[in-house]
Amino acid sequence: MSIYLDYQAAKPVDERVIEEMLPYFNKRYANPSSLHGDGDIATDTLKKARQKVADFINAPKADSILFTSGATESNNLALIGSALRNKKKGDHIIISEIEHITILNIGKFLEKQGFKVSRVPVDRFGIINIEKLKRLINERTILISISTASNEIGSLQPIEEISDIASEKKVLFHTDAVASEAVIPIDVQKVPIDLITLSSNDIYGPRGVGALYLKKGVRVNPILIGGGQERGMRSGSENMTGIVGFAKAAEIMKKEIKDEAARINLLRDKLIGGILESIPKSYLNGHPEKRLPNNAHFRFEYIEGESLILSLRDQNVSAATGSACSSKTLEPSHTLIATGLLHEEAHGSLLYTLGRFTTESDIDTAIEVLPGIIKRLRILSPLTPLDLLKKYQEAEK
């Protein structure tokens, strides 16, 4: 493997999780709905797994956890399921301008179904404007969905405040916690959020499983119709192997999150310091403090992000960019544009995300290889000003 600094895109499954899962492939494979003894054991396993995921977010009741196939489905169920259920109350939903593409596209889908979707703007750090949010709420508003943190630039949203506003106005509040769940503890008894999207892989569990947390009394209309599993809100035979792995990952994460986040935070600070110091005309995107401790999002003038990623790939470093050239639509990152960056500024962006298995030597290498890459691309670029080119040439002599 490369020096992997793209933890927001995918995380490895923890060995302890894999070990826990193995028996469920071919030894304990019964369906919890079955009435035989093996089925009863499976029911019990499912119950315990549900409890562990509930504990992970300090939810008092295991039943508040619905297992799904992952974060995308949880977000679909949260938004579409709430919209359908509350149709009589209203037709207005509020999201932010920098939501994950899943939420943005669900928003578009709901608009086509006749719902009205407002998008709260963000400031230059990518943090939502709380006053604008308040003003957007009207008597037809049924749901606010704002991610706990931006999956791109890592900005942390004022979740507690939003939760207060939502409960005061009697509007449901959903948050997608996928980008933050491995580094920021969630406590639903402290912050009474109505619906939370969780993903297994994002806490080092297997892919293909996730959860939607529903506060007591909150229900959604199902979007998958079938045998009525998960209290009728999410049909389909339970993915026991995945759920067991997810639960183990949640158990480990709950225990280790504080120390792990602190360790990652230190490495991340070293990375940010090292890069801003060694590369002229480099900037940090997002908020300097109110950001995920595992996120480092940079912008380099005069160069383009895809060629940056390609060059890093040659040095065996894996990272991500918000450049248009790397996207399917050739549009630059909506998040960067929403924070007020110009298109050409958004092109030169680079995202490093750190995780459980990132080492100090990974960070050292990442800091070491980047200046040379940036320099090479800047020498190629017609946008690089003469004085900077001269500096590069002088340094070579």
Partner 1 sequence: MKSTSYSEKVLDHFRNPRNVGEIENSDGIGKVGNPVCGDLMWIYIKVGKNNNGEEIIDDIKFKTFGCGSAVATSSMITEIAKGMTLNDAYKISRNDVAEELDGLPPIKMHCSNLASDALKAAINNYRKGTKPDIEIITSCQRELRIILGIDEFLGKGVHEEVDDLSIFNNKRVLIENTGNDSLELALELTKYTGRVVVITSGKITPGSPELKKELKHSDVKILYESELLEIKGTDDVEKVVIHDFDEDENYELFVDKVIIL
* By the rule CB under 8 A, 386 interacts with partner 1: no
Region of 154 on the Ramachandran plot (φ > 0 left; ψ -120 to 50 alpha; else beta): left
Q: Give the pair of three-digit tokens for residue 121.
A: 């703007």
Binding mask 85-124 for partner 1 (x = CB under 8 A): ----------------------------------------
* By the rule CB under 8 A, 304 interacts with partner 1: yes
Q: Give the pair of three-digit tokens for residue 91.
A: 């037709």
* Listed residue (311, 299, 278, 309) closest to 346, CA to CA: 299
E runs forming strands in 44-132: 65-68, 92-96, 116-120
Which CB sits closer to partner 1, 88 or 108?
A: 108
Closest separation in Å from C-beta 305 to partner 1: 8
Q: Max CA-CA distance within the chain? A: 79
* Chosen residue from 64, 285, 295, 323 binding partner 1 by CB under 8 A: 323
* By the rule CB under 8 A, 387 interacts with partner 1: no
Per CB under 8 A, which region of 23-31, 81-89, 239-247, 297-305 contacts partner 1? 297-305
How many angstroms separate the CA atoms of 163 and 151, rounded? Answer: 20
CA-based torsion, 331, 333, 336, 338: positive or negative? positive
How many angstroms separate the CA atoms of 305 and 307, rounded? Answer: 5
* Chosen residue from 131, 382, 395, 396 binding partner 1 by CB under 8 A: 382
Which CB sits closer to partner 1, 76 or 175?
A: 76
Which CB sits closer to partner 1, 262 or 342?
A: 342
Which CB sits closer to partner 1, 4 or 302?
A: 302
Closest separation in Å from C-beta 392 to partner 1: 13
* By the rule CB under 8 A, 314 interacts with partner 1: yes
Closest separation in Å from C-beta 378 to partner 1: 9
Q: What is the DSSP string of 215-236?
A: -TT-----SS-SS-TGGGTS-S
How many angstroms separate the CA atoms of 16 and 119, rounded? Answer: 41
Q: Give the pair of three-digit tokens for residue 21.
A: 């899962």
325 catalytic residue (yes or no)? yes
Of 266, 325, 380, 383, which is the active-site residue?
A: 325
* Chosen residue from 1, 35, 225, 330 binding partner 1 by CB under 8 A: 330
* Listed residue (167, 177, 226) closest to 197, CA to CA: 177
Catalytic positions are 325
* Residues lying near partner 1 in the complex (CB under 8 A): 302-304, 306-307, 309-310, 314, 323-330, 332, 342-344, 347, 379-383
